[in-house]
Amino acid sequence: MATRRQILKGTLLGGLVVVSGVSIWQWNLEESQTVVEQDKYPYQYLTEDDRLVLFALMPAFLGKALDNLDSKEFRINLLQQLDQAIDFISQSSYDELRQLLDLLANQLGRAYVAGVWSSWSRAKPNELADFLNDWRTSFITLLRSGYLGLHQLIFGAFYAQAKSWPAIDYPGPPKMKLEDSFYQQFDLQP
């Protein structure tokens, strides 16, 4: 039985044959790339390439929930939250996430496996939505697992942001009869 690594390598090698002669090596200095590059947060887990992928995918995953919140600063905060959340996953889950992000950050992986031929920052919203829908409904378990992993990470970081609570009609954590100082230590408003 083939391992995930063997399947991914075979997929990428097959992609080389399919896209030979097609130039997909694009250097992109679009605004989103500049925003990600200028973020000075000391990331422990997410590389710059990972952050570019996730920065581009956030609006496709979150859709209308981002309508009033979508700003560069909010997405950067989500990236920082994601990096912190990775600290709480198992080593095997982290290893799988690392492989997934490496595949998506790779230009051939992005083109062949995700079907996004332009750079992440140049991808059109419908391309991203199609890619995510294809993975979500794929008959290939590995792609569905990749979709679910990204979905859980991005939505978990989104729900953890107090600024996102009004968009989902969440009133915040239950209020108990505690002093305001208790809530303030967690940056939560009583």
By mean pLDDT, which of 143-152, 155-164, 179-188 is the weakest? 179-188
Residue 20 lies in a domain: no
Average pLDDT, the chain: 79
Mean pLDDT of 178-188: 74
pLDDT digits (tens, 9 = 90+) for 125-151: 889 999 999 999 999 998 999 999 999
Non-local (6+) Cβ contacts of 125 within 8 A are 59, 60
What pLDDT is stored for residue 24 in this prediction?
A: 29
Residue 9 lies in a domain: no
Main-chain dihedrals φ then ψ at residue 30, nearest 5 degrees: -70, 170
What pLDDT is stored for residue 133 in this prediction?
A: 93
pLDDT digits (tens, 9 = 90+) for 60-90: 898 887 777 767 888 899 999 999 999 888 9
pLDDT digits (tens, 9 = 90+) for 14-47: 443 333 333 322 333 356 677 777 788 899 999 9
Residue 1 lies in a domain: no
Q: How many domains does the chain have?
A: 1
The residue range of the domain holding 96 is: 28-184
Residue 59 lies in a domain: yes
d(CA 3, CA 95): 14
Compute the radius of gyration of the chain from its Cα atoms: 18
Model confidence band, residue 161 (pLDDT cutoffs 50, 70, 90): confident
Structure-model confidence comparison of residues 180 and 14, the more confident one: 180
Residue 22 lies in a domain: no
Structure-model confidence comparison of residues 53 and 178, the more confident one: 53
Residue 16 lies in a domain: no
With a pLDDT cut of 90, the percent of the chain lying above it is 29
Residue 21 lies in a domain: no
d(CA 61, CA 63): 6
The answer to whether the beta carbons of residues 101 and 108 sit under 8 Å apart is: no
Residue 53 lies in a domain: yes
Helix, strand, coil percentages (3-state) for the chain, rounded to 5, are 65, 0, 35
By mean pLDDT, which of 82-86, 109-113, 152-156 is the weakest? 109-113
pLDDT above 60: residue 9: no
- DSSP labels for 64-102? GGGTTT--HHHHHHHHHHHHHHHTTS-HHHHHHHHHHHH
pLDDT above 50: residue 100: yes
